[in-house]
Structure 1
Amino acid sequence: MQTPAVAPRPTQRLVAIDLLRGLTVALMILANNNGGPAAFWFLQHAAWNGFTPTDLVFPTFLFLVGVAIPYSTDGRLARGDGRGTLLRHIVSRSAILFLFGIVVNNFPLFHLDTLRVYGVLQRIAACYLVLATAYVCGLRWRGALALVAGTLVGYWLLMRFVPVPGYGLPVRDVPLLDPVRNLAAWIDRQVFSAPHLFERTRDPEGLLSTLPALATTALGVLAGLWLRGTAPLHARIRGLVFAGAACVLLGALWNFGFPINKRLWTSSFVLFAGGWSLLLLAAMLRFTDARSAALDAGKRPLWQRPLLVFGTNTIFAYMLSELLAALLWTIPAGGGLSLQQAIANAFDRGIPYPTAAATAYSLVFLAVCWLPTWLLCRRRIFLKI
């Protein structure tokens, strides 16, 4: 909340990362402001177990955080920055991201009795802190693969075989991944009381479920290492496609024993979503014109420009959308309605089809967030941490 014999220049490869990051942010804004329950199904999360395209948004963003780590770290090391300097930057950046997340979660009221600590930016901060630190300290292929395998298997063992205090053993005493009676939800309730949790009985960005989110980020690190290799670009794209298809298949198979569930970030979800993230990155690399990589954003192909606006000022765009949405829900508009509800009702009255009205609201909200982000990009003002 990035030729045969010789590898392309880093800027060439990063174009696709920025484009996919921009697409992810745009879809995140649409999904988080989808105009209500009448919105298209693909702009809504799965109710519990299952998967929709919207469930791919957050893991793809975390995946891209991982992809960028080898690029940024190796680049700074090549410029002469010491490892101590890098580690201090990683810690400070993670802390700032975490604080931004606290602001986003609780704006504009900041009631201490309902302060939410878990959140999207907080999870990004935690995953970035762990993986970037590990990379600076020497994590590469074997370590990242071991981290992915260890966290996915370990999380499955915890959720499947550890009795939940007060409820019993999953499968035997309570259904596996019961919304309330699962280990991740129980831990969240022990750390913070109900008013501090997003869903009162659990939090989708809770403590234990951050463990498999590390695996999502580690998959990105592996992809970044692969892309920085010296194989021809078409071979690297094929490698991403193969790995992505394998992950999707493994996740789909594991779904039968450990269901795909975004809210609990299950191990099958990590593989399934991670596989699609790999495939999307491969597609973006395939359809990105590498010759335009060094061009100014205004000179790139037309389809790339809107995405690059979000992709190069990601944190600003995300925070703007979340803070604006919170304001709209907080400002009263009369008749017991918030300003957001009043605007949504106006769309409903003006457009006879509920799904079309909800979609129109989402698109207008997206445009409102894109415009100031574009103005900052034109002036080369970027929110850097």
Structure 2
Amino acid sequence: MQVTSTATTEPAIAQPAPVRRLMSLDALRGFDMFWIAGGEEIFHVLAKTTGWAWAALLAEQFTHVEWDGFRAYDCIFPLFLFMAGVSTPFAVGSRLERGVSKSELARKVITRGLILVALGIIYNNGLFTKPISDMRFPSVLARIGLAGMFAQLIYLYFPNPKAQYIWFAGLLLGYWAVMKLIPVPGCGAGVLTLDCSLAGYIDRSVLPGRLYLKVHDPEGLFSTIPAIGTALLGIFSGQLLRSQGPVAQPNQKTLWLMLGGVGCLILGYSWGWIFPVNKNLWTSSFVLVAGGWSVLMLALFYWIIDVRKVSGWAFFFTVIGMNSILIYIAGEFIDFEYAAKFFFEGLLSFFSEPVRAVGSVLAFLAVKWAFLYFMYKKKVFLRV
């Protein structure tokens, strides 16, 4: 991991530097990180202070389902992992074409994955030593690191798209088979509850420290296997966008992305009847449903920004997307809430309670964005 200051116009953020960056990918990454960084609180505060029905509906969509099911907020994390896959053909593929050896690229891919695992442990537990029994080792960053790492290794060593599709199908079908057929002691086979799933049992058996839900961890080790499929879906999309073959026209690429996204949704929701859509277990049906929505969002951003060239509105999100890892971990070390109160509390005191509540959230987000904009102007970016 390193923080770089560069005078180039195409910095690399959280993945190896591609030769050509997709503006839409940076904007979509920033759009995704905006909600992770606190944007969802706008709807929660609106719903709480006003009671408006539409605000309550949106606020509900910006919460996770308790177990089975799918809401918009359940797509935030897989979308980020999906985008790590999209960047792979631009980043790793371009270096392969320049003659960089697979072994050298594999070392960099593995190193990056392990660094993200380490950052996740620090993010969960801080810099101070805790007893291992009190530490949580699984994390969002670890899942991005491990799933992205294995997906990129598949891309490196199985360059034939047919082989990659076989890997994708094999991971999803294999995960489904073992989750349904292998019995868990005291529970039996095919039980997909919090206490009895095979994924939770394996994580309890092999992972040190504590799990997020005591008996289960939504970012556990075993459920990382189907998450590789999420990153592979991104790689498939990135290969399409980078292709120079028969489907080379931008409008054609947009159409194929849309068809692929709809196809994933149909297959995922259909599969969900027998293998429920479940983010905590990262079920195969969840991979397809979250992946379908991710592909459709990429198609929309790509068509508007890179095809239609309507990009001015996206600058706000691009600033966030080009330092996404930094803003994710910075909140653990920088008190943005204190800064927001320092600059805006006096001004907000003149308004009514609903305005103050929403204004506090906007002020918090504004301080975060100003920090990222400062980094952007100084061309300082966190690279992993």
Say whether the 8 Å CA contact 2:251–2:307 is kept in structure 1. Answer: no
Say whether the 8 Å CA contact 2:24–2:306 is kept in structure 1. Answer: no
Aligned to 2:136: 116
Please show how residues 166-315 of structure 1 align to structure 2 within 5 Å: 166-170=186-190, 176-192=191-207, 196-230=210-244, 231-290=248-307, 301-315=311-325
Question: 1 CA distance for matches of 2:168 and 2:360?
Answer: 39
Say whether the 8 Å CA contact 1:180–1:201 is kept in structure 2. Answer: yes
**Do structure 1's residue 149 and structure 2's residue 164 form an aligned pair?**
no
Q: Secondary structure at the match of 1:46?
A: coil
Say whether the 8 Å CA contact 1:313–1:383 is kept in structure 2. Answer: yes
Question: 1 CA distance for matches of 2:61 and 2:139?
Answer: 22
From 28, 33, 41, the equivalent of 1:25 is: 33
Q: Taking structure 2 as the reference length, what is the TM-score of the superposition? A: 0.82
Aligned to 1:60: 79
Question: 1 CA distance for matches of 2:249 and 2:260?
Answer: 17
Aligned CA distance change for structure 1 residues 251 and 315 (closer, same or farther; 3 Å): same
Aligned to 2:9: none
Aligned CA distance change for structure 1 residues 92 and 206 (closer, same or farther; 3 Å): same
Instruction: Name the % identity.
Output: 35
Aligned CA distance change for structure 1 residues 358 and 168 (closer, same or farther; 3 Å): farther
Say whether the 8 Å CA contact 1:212–1:265 is kept in structure 2. Answer: yes
How many residues are paired up? 349
Q: Taking structure 1 as the reference length, what is the TM-score of the superposition? A: 0.82
Q: Secondary structure at the match of 1:196?
A: coil
Please show how residues 61-140 of structure 1 align to structure 2 within 5 Å: 61-107=80-126, 109-112=128-131, 113-140=133-160
> How far apart are residue 216 of structure 1 and its match?
0.5
Q: Which moved more, 1:90-99 or 1:202-211?
A: 90-99
Q: Secondary structure at the match of 1:382?
A: strand
Say whether the 8 Å CA contact 2:182–2:189 is kept in structure 1. Answer: yes
> How far apart are residue 324 of structure 1 and its match?
4.6
Question: 1 CA distance for matches of 2:356 and 2:290?
Answer: 29
> How far apart are residue 64 of structure 1 and its match?
0.7
Aligned CA distance change for structure 1 residues 132 and 358 (closer, same or farther; 3 Å): farther
Question: 2 CA distance for matches of 1:369 and 1:380?
Answer: 17
Aligned AA (2:79): T
Aligned to 1:335: none
From 170, 174, 180, the equivalent of 1:160 is: 180
> How far apart are residue 98 of structure 1 and its match?
1.3
Aligned to 2:51: none
Aligned AA (1:134): I
> How far apart are residue 82 of structure 1 and its match?
2.3
Question: 2 CA distance for matches of 1:91 and 1:74?
Answer: 16
Aligned CA distance change for structure 1 residues 291 and 45 (closer, same or farther; 3 Å): closer
Say whether the 8 Å CA contact 2:23–2:306 is kept in structure 1. Answer: no
1:196-251 per-position Cα deviation (integer Å, ceiling 9, x unaligned): 11111110000111111011111111111111112211111100000100101111
Q: Which runs of 5+ in 1 are unaligned?
A: 3-8, 171-175, 293-299, 332-339, 341-346
Question: 1 CA distance for matches of 2:124 and 2:361?
Answer: 20
Aligned AA (2:278): N
Q: Which moved more, 1:161-170 or 1:113-122?
A: 161-170
Question: 2 CA distance for matches of 1:136 and 1:182?
Answer: 33
Aligned CA distance change for structure 1 residues 365 and 106 (closer, same or farther; 3 Å): farther
Aligned to 1:373: 372
Question: 1 CA distance for matches of 2:237 and 2:118?
Answer: 29
Question: 2 CA distance for matches of 1:10 and 1:99?
Answer: 28
1:278-316 per-position Cα deviation (integer Å, ceiling 9, x unaligned): 100110111115586xxxxxxx84311111111111111
Q: Secondary structure at the match of 1:288?
A: helix
**Do structure 1's residue 383 and structure 2's residue 378 form an aligned pair?**
no
Question: 2 CA distance for matches of 1:131 and 1:359?
Answer: 40
Aligned to 2:4: none
Say whether the 8 Å CA contact 2:268–2:286 is kept in structure 1. Answer: yes
Q: Secondary structure at the match of 1:29?
A: helix
Aligned AA (1:184): A
Say whether the 8 Å CA contact 1:320–1:369 is kept in structure 2. Answer: no
Q: Secondary structure at the match of 1:11?
A: coil
1:86-128 per-position Cα deviation (integer Å, ceiling 9, x unaligned): 1221122112111111111112654223111100010111012
Say whether the 8 Å CA contact 1:107–1:323 is kept in structure 2. Answer: no
Question: 2 CA distance for matches of 1:288 and 1:139?
Answer: 29
Question: 1 CA distance for matches of 2:156 and 2:265?
Answer: 29
Say whether the 8 Å CA contact 1:30–1:363 is kept in structure 2. Answer: no
